[in-house]
Amino acid sequence: MNIEKIWDKWVDCEKFSGVFSVSGEHGILFEKCCGFRNRAEKLMNNKDTAFSIASGTKMFTGIAVCRLIDEKKLSLEDKLCDVLPCDLGQIDNNITISHLLTHTSGVGDYIDEEAENSYEQLQNLYNKYPVYLWERLEYYLPMITPLPPKFKPGARFGYSNSGYVLLGLVVEAVSGVAYQQFVKDAIITPCNLGHTGFYRMDSLPENTAFGYMYDETSGEWRTNIFNLPIMGGSDGGIFTCAGDINKLWRALFANKILSGNTTDLFIKPQIMTGENKSYGLGIYRYDYNGNAVYYAVGCDFGVDYFTVYFPKQKIVASALGNTEINTYSLLEAIIKELV
């Protein structure tokens, strides 16, 4: 294994701003801290800096829902319409919790990432629904419920942010507390994730990175505070650091968050997404030569993220970035090396 060589060969290693960390059972194997968490003050990113991880949050949501399944308060077969006490508009009454977790619900997506102009659609959405109001998951419903279905439930895999917003509302309906509070109580606190949370964009704690976008016209770097919801939700927006993500993977596979049976269910292939690639109940899976690898990814304005766990070697590799440099090729190179 030569992670340093993989890093050096990665085309964007000198442009990356963030933290790239690889850990084994007994500690860090390789780590790079690059760029600034605060460009104006020239404060550098360090190994404990927290970053927004965008859709990497869906892993937390999947675990949260599975926790409720573990507690016999919910099942994969439960229908969404029987759980949520609100008008679901055009959402299909046959959609189940399983469909939502596996991105097979077909529910209309308020951010349709399958569309070529998804970023433009999102900007238009923010013009109608100002980001400083996105504090509660109920706020998303008027963006979702009027949308026609994209396909019938179970017909195919179709990545869905709306589906995971609805799962957050399910967590709230079943647990009786806000989604963010449930994640804190069920995952963050028990796993001792000391620098992980749904931080407000206008009130970031110490050693937390601003996300940056480069303005080609002005030649300036600008923060993403006007481009993301002020409070993260169940489809994206949690902040975390490399060390906490390492703890999360190890707690998950040690069955410290979920029971053994439910952990197996969480990581089991539920729907194929490509050759040797599948999706479980909140994470991606890659199978090759009898080995399984699990990973989560996220990207947004001023955010880029991946984390991957190799059970055979008990290695966690994560890249948490605060610009829009795409790290997916680095993820692929690491998987190719270690699988």
- Domain boundaries along the sequence of the chain: 3-338
Query: What is the DSSP code string of 206-254?
Result: TTBPPPEEEETTTTEEEESTTTS-SS-BTTB--EE-HHHHHHHHHHHHT
> How high is the pLDDT of residue 1?
63
Residue 167 CB neighbours (<10 A): 26
pTM, whole model, 2 decimals?
Answer: 0.97
CB atoms within 10 A of CB 154: 15
Find the distance separating the first CA and the last CA of the chain, reported in whole Å: 11
The C-alpha atoms of residue 187 and residue 104 are separated, in whole angstroms, by 25
- For 237-246, b where at least 16 C-beta lie within 10 A, e where not — what string? bbbbbbbbbb
Instruction: Please give the CATH superfamily to which domain 3-338 belongs.
Output: DD-peptidase/beta-lactamase superfamily (3.40.710.10)
Mean pLDDT by 10 residues, the chain (339 residues): 92 97 97 98 98 98 98 98 95 98 97 84 89 96 97 97 98 98 98 98 97 95 96 98 98 98 98 96 95 97 98 97 96 94
Considering only CA atoms, which of 222, 209, 228 is closest in space to residue 119?
228
Burial of 259 (0-12, 13-18, 19+ CB in 10 A): middle
Which of 304-321 are b and which e, b meaning 16 or more Cβ less than 10 Å from the residue's Cβ? Answer: bbbbbbbeeeebbbbbbb
On whether the CB atoms of residues 323 and 72 are closer than 8 A, the answer is no
Q: Per 3-state DSSP, what percentage of the chain is helix, strand, and coil (rounded to 5)?
A: 35, 20, 45
Nearest to 86 by CA among 178, 166, 4: 166
Helices (DSSP H) in 90-148: which residue ranges? 97-101, 118-128, 141-144
* Cβ atoms 188, 197 nearer than 8 A: yes
Between CA 21 and CA 137 the distance in angstroms is 32
